[in-house]
Structure 1
Amino acid sequence: MTYLHGLFWLCALALGHTFVGYPAWVVAKARWGPRPVRRGEWTPTVSIVVAVHNAGAQAEARLANLAALDYPPGLIDIVVVCDGCEDDSAERCRRFGDERVRVLEFVRRRGKAACLNDAIAAARGEVLLMLDVRQRLEPQALRELVANLADPEVGVVGGELCFEDPETGFARSVDAYWRYETLIRRSESTSGSMIGVSGALYAMRREVFQPLPEGTVLDDVLVPMRAARAGWRVVFEPGARAWDRPSTEPVQEQRRKIRTLAGNFQLVQLSPWLLRPGRNPLWFRFVSHKLLRLAAPWMVLLLGLTAAVLATRHVWCALTLVALLAGVAMVLASRLLPVLGRWLPVRLSVAFFYMNAYAALALLTFARNRRLHLW
């Protein structure tokens, strides 16, 4: 049983590092060894890039939202790429009546990465603002992002994705998870560089961008990691906010989250240098923040199995088994009595359960189809 005891502690320590140790380390590093960003007044030309597929009214709403940005209109151009749209997305954008808007329309669906490559090739700005079509930006978002790029060390800056009205129990769990994730990103930025940004809202210097490999899912991780490798800082700007609505049921979150998590496997496949400490300056952060989370569901499974076998022999194994069973019980109870989702331990248990379930499914999804889905 000695090897089972060793396996138990290996899994326990790895999970502890992933979800508690690394966040605590990076928060402490941000607190005791901060690297302030030298923000400044700077108003460069900006190209706003939006790739859409069957976005419909969302595309029109996105343009209306951009028209309200607190930034000199004459310094902005907007490139909308319609990727194999079967609806009236392209026509809605052309009818919007803003001469700054250019629409690139492709009949064949090629994927977001190809769209971004074409859009940026057609863009004119010194700064590129990358957006998804769905979220609502606050008026000052662009100005806040650009202020960080006044620092000559900063190459990429990400904004904060916020959730509106997380009303249901599951939505509250999504919101709790995202607050935890945002704390880590903010601390990574304060202490040096983040390893990724939110695809909903990020900006970069034009010279930072390199064409993306075809089919890339996580441009919001690959672009920052390439920038860090080239010597740029990747920072977080909480004053630049994009607002979205969280999924209210697990099935709504499942498809998006599985695709995103599977994108991490693809990322390593496309850029194996990410796994090499000598070539990836953010290697420790990348492994701790991204890769160990992908392994977490399997470590939880092994932890539970070894704890069950050893529960009568070792008190820590017994306590761990009780904690795991209590977590499962809270997840089940939250489905039967959604009102329990207001209780923090339940929210955290639900978030932990589903994020790990999605990570396990992501590996299976990637193993079945390494090309993933275009969007």
Structure 2
Amino acid sequence: MIAVIIFWGLVFLLFHSYVLFPVLLSFLSRNRENNTLVYKNPGELPSVSILMSVYNEKKVIREKIHSILNTSYPLHKIQILIGSDHSTDGTDEILKELKREEPFLQLYFMEERRGKGGVINTLFREAEGNILVLTDANVILQRNTLYELVKHFKNPDIGLVDSYMLNTGIKKDGISYQEMAYISREIRIKNREGKIWGCMMGPSGGCYAVRRELFAPIPETILVDDFYINMLVLEKGYRSVNELHARVYEDVSNDLREEFRRKVRIAAGNFQNLVRFRKLLWPITRGCGFCFFSHKLIRWTGPFILIFLLITNLLIFQHHAVYQITLLIQAILLAIPIIDQFLRKIQIHIVILRFVTHFYAMNLALLAGFLKNLKGIRTNVWQPTRRYQ
């Protein structure tokens, strides 16, 4: 009997996180507007400091900086700070060339690898703007992106604003389509969390804005700095929202192994943040606690839920035909990644099978990240995912 209760409890948790919670958000966000207290007069706009840590980004750094300079935001109110984390591919030379063209660029070259967090902390000490915009080198801005991010800070309750990430480089032979679908779904969920409760569960990380006074130096062992900063904002009682008109473009990863490695790092960082901000889970009936539990905690514990779901199903499968069917379904789902890998080798790509592969791979990455976090993390220096495929 206990095994039956546990089994259906686990089924409910997965169903709640992946189905019920998104549906509830869709229902509650109907007819709700995002923040409407915004800057409309360019003369009122606050000063902005753009902080960008780069490492071996020679393929995109020129396009990225040009996308910033092409902004509709008043340039005299923008400070651009770029830190090269001991790049070795010629990025530094391109930055120096751009500096000759645009003397107001502030460049900092690290003599050794510091990690993204370490570079951002260095740039933060030099930042003068009221609003900080943290952005990655491979994320390209539209002309109005900065304005759409910063306009919300007229509302004193808003502490962080995230952009709307659009993906490029989609191919059918890898996981880029599945990754794009996952990111798009996440953005919709986060946008609705912000609309309803002002508790968006973390920015996409590629480009977001935060009030200077709410930023704090990133600890050197923190792996997922964007989620860390977002939760600091919520912890201090400010709102965190997503702006769908602040569009940016990023080349999504297509290689499963590369994406798996990235997801392991993110997962390890997620468990760091879970421990650090565990108090925000309670009370679970409050918006922030409910979002944290439904959107993040259940997902992050997904590998353990799946493992115990299989174990309990094995214990009760003889009790009723229903449990024999659920066990068969689990067996088929577990076999799909193997089948998909075989089909991929002979150039057969079935979208639905790839989604199942992506799901199990990401849960395996969560498990690996959990174990990595248990072993202890001493630095946030990491090798970026290879993109531009």
Q: 2:231·2:277 contact (CA, 8 Å) conserved in 1?
A: no
- Counterpart position of 1:133: 137
| In structure 2, distance between residues paired with 1:173 and 1:341 | 12
1:244 to 247, 250, 253: 250
CA contact (8 A) 2:52 2:83 kept: yes
Equivalent residue letter for 1:287 = F
1:34 shift after superposition: 6.0
> Could you say which residue in structure 1 is the equivalent of 2:387?
none
Among 149, 152, 155, which residue is 2:156 paired with?
Answer: 152
Structure 1 counterpart of 2:21, which letter? Answer: Y
Please list the CA deviations of residues 222-269 of structure 1 after superposition, one character each: whole Å capped at 9, or x if unmatched: 111111222211110111122122222210201111111110112234
Alignment of 1:1-375 (within 5 A): 2-31=1-30, 36-41=35-40, 42-96=44-98, 97-169=101-173, 170-192=175-197, 193-277=199-283, 282-338=288-344, 341=349, 343=351, 345-371=352-378, 373-375=380-382
Note the alpha carbon deviations across 1:162-202, whole angstroms, 9 max, x for none. 21142225221112222221221111111122021011010
Do the aligned residues in 2 keep the contact of 1:159 with 1:240 (CA within 8 Å)?
yes
> CA separation in 1, counterparts of 2:203 and 2:321?
41
One-letter amino acid of the structure 2 residue matched with residue 17 of structure 1? H
CA change 1:4–1:273 in 2 (3 A) is closer
How much does 1:374 deviate? 1.7
Cα 1:59/1:32, change in 2 over 3 Å = closer
User: Aligned letter for 1:16?
Assistant: F
Q: Tell me if the contact between 2:220 and 2:379 (Cα under 8 Å) persists in the aligned partners.
A: no
- Aligned residue pair count: 372
What is the identity, as a one-letter code, of the residue corresponding to 1:352? Answer: F
Secondary structure of 1:160's counterpart equals: strand
Q: Deviations over 1:131-181 (max 9, x none)?
A: 011122222111111122222221110001121142225221112222221
Deviation at 1:74, TM superposition (A): 1.6
Q: SS in structure 2 opposite 1:199? A: coil
Q: What SS is found at the alignment partner of 1:195?
A: coil
Unaligned runs of 5+ in 1: none
- Fraction of identical pairs, as percent: 27
Between 305-314 and 117-126, the greater mean CA deviation after superposition? 305-314
User: Residue 121 and residue 165 in structure 1: after superposition, are their counterparts in 2 closer, same or farther (change >3 A)?
Assistant: same
SS in 1 for 2:45: coil
What code does the residue aligned with 1:349 have?
V
* CA distance in structure 2 between the partners assigned to 1:144 and 1:374 by the alignment: 31
Inter-partner Cα distance in structure 2 for 1:107 and 1:371: 20
Deviations 1:107-149 (A, max 9, x none): 1222222221221120121211110111222221111111222
RMSD: 2.4
SS in 1 for 2:148: helix
For structure 2, the 5+ residue unaligned runs are 383-389
Deviating more after overlay: 231-240 vs 13-22? 13-22
SS of the equivalent of 1:370 reads: coil
User: How far apart are 1:271 and its partner, in Å?
Assistant: 4.4
Specify the code of the residue in structure 2 equivalent to 1:19: Y
C-alpha change, 1:270 and 1:230, in structure 2 (3 Å) is: closer
Q: 1:79 aligns to what SS in structure 2?
A: strand
Equivalent pair of 2:282/2:289 in contact (CA under 8 Å): yes
SS of the aligned residue for 2:88 comes to coil
Q: CA deviation at 1:316?
A: 3.2
Q: Which moved more, 1:280-289 or 1:174-183?
A: 280-289
TM-score, structure 2 as length reference: 0.87
Query: Partners in 2 of 1:315 and 1:39 — Cα distance?
Result: 58
Task: Tell me if the contact between 1:229 and 1:281 (Cα under 8 Å) persists in the aligned partners.
Answer: no
The secondary structure found in structure 2 opposite 1:217 is coil
Does the 8 A contact of 1:261 with 1:359 survive in 2?
yes
Taking the aligned partners of 2:79 and 2:342, their CA distance within structure 1 comes to 50
Contact 1:44 1:125 in 2 (8 A): yes
Residue in 1 aligned with 2:385? none
> Structure 1 residues 337, 38: closer, same or farther in 2, change over 3 A?
farther
CA contact (8 A) 1:144 1:240 kept: yes
Q: CA 1:100–1:174 in structure 2 vs 1: closer, same or farther (change >3 Å)?
A: same
1:202–1:52 distance in 2 versus 1, CA, 3 Å? same
CA contact (8 A) 1:266 1:370 kept: no
- Displacement of 1:306 in angstroms is 1.9
Mean Cα deviation higher: 82-91 or 5-14: 82-91
User: Normalized against structure 1, the TM-score is what?
Assistant: 0.90
